[in-house]
């Protein structure tokens, strides 16, 4: 009887302790960041990607060697592969108030709560995703006006990682990106999820 009483008291104490301390198994932000970094490293390894520095990238006239599956690691943390730089006209760059049209694929690099890595794309849709490119004295931004991304995430904010890539390419470009959560859409930032993007065609409308 004495042992049973002690067991009951111990359970009550544990319950009270959990109430006071939370007994929360939720991962810390630092742990989530570690998982994100590990997922990016695993993707790079599994995809046989060769990472080059920005200095190497600029020394090669800002191109990546597809035969070596090169990606440049940008200062922002984004990894970028330029499949096709687009127009040969140096003036065909994105400018403030341009409308940008994109055909894309998005692949999560971490499993969600359902145990799967989400994938969305507009490759087989009649319409492309569209956003407005904005420039201020201190920043750049993009706002989706229509498309799969805004429908899927109910968020009009363009991932900052997409915008970083635009500064290196021209009209009709094709780029691939590994975007860490801090430069992703709001869902990516909230859940600390990195994503791989294949932006098949980037079209600028003046």
Number of domains within the chain:
1
Residue 58 belongs to some domain of the structure: yes
Rounded (5°) CA angle 162-165-166 = 90
User: pTM to 2 decimals?
Assistant: 0.86
**Section 156-184 average pLDDT:** 97
Residue 17 belongs to some domain of the structure: no
**Predicted confidence (pLDDT) per residue in 163-176, tens digit:** 999 999 999 999 99
**Predicted confidence (pLDDT) per residue in 78-89, tens digit:** 999 999 999 999
What is the extent of the structural domain holding 190? 29-87+103-121+159-205
89: buried, middle or exposed (CB in 10 Å: 19+, 13-18, 0-12)? Answer: exposed
**Predicted confidence (pLDDT) per residue in 61-114, tens digit:** 999 999 999 999 999 999 999 999 999 999 999 999 999 999 999 999 999 888
Predicted confidence band at 26 (pLDDT cuts at 50, 70, 90)? Answer: confident
| Whole-Å CA distances, 136 to 78, 108, 131 | 22, 30, 16
Residue 188 belongs to some domain of the structure: yes
DSSP 77-118: S-EEEEEE---S-TT----TT-EEEEEEEEEESS--TTSS--
User: What pLDDT is recorded for position 25?
Assistant: 57
Residue 64 belongs to some domain of the structure: yes
**Domain holding 115: CATH number?**
3.10.50.40
């Amino acid at each position: 009887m004495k042992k049973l009483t002690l067991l009951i008291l111990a359970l009550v104490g544990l319950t009270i302790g959990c109430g006071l301390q939370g007994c929360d198994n939720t991962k810390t932000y630092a742990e989530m960041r570690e998982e994100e970094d590990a997922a990016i490293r695993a993707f790079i390894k599994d995809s046989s990607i060769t990472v080059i520095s920005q200095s190497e990238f600029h020394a090669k006239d800002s191109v990546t060697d597809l035969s070596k599956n090169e990606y440049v690691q940008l200062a922002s943390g984004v990894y970028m592969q330029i499949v096709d730089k687009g127009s040969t006209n140096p003036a065909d760059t994105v400018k403030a108030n341009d409308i940008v049209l994109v055909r894309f694929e998005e692949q999560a690099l971490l499993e969600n709560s359902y145990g799967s890595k989400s994938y969305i794309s507009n490759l087989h849709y009649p319409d492309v995703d569209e956003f407005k490119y904005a420039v201020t004295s201190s920043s750049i931004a993009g706002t989706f006006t229509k498309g799969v991304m805004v429908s899927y995430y109910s968020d009009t904010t363009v991932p900052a990682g997409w915008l970083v890539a635009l500064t290196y390419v021209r009209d009709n470009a094709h780029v691939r990106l590994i975007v860490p959560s801090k430069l992703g859409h709001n869902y990516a930032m909230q859940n600390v999820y990195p994503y791989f993007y294949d932006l098949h065609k980037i079209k600028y409308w003046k």
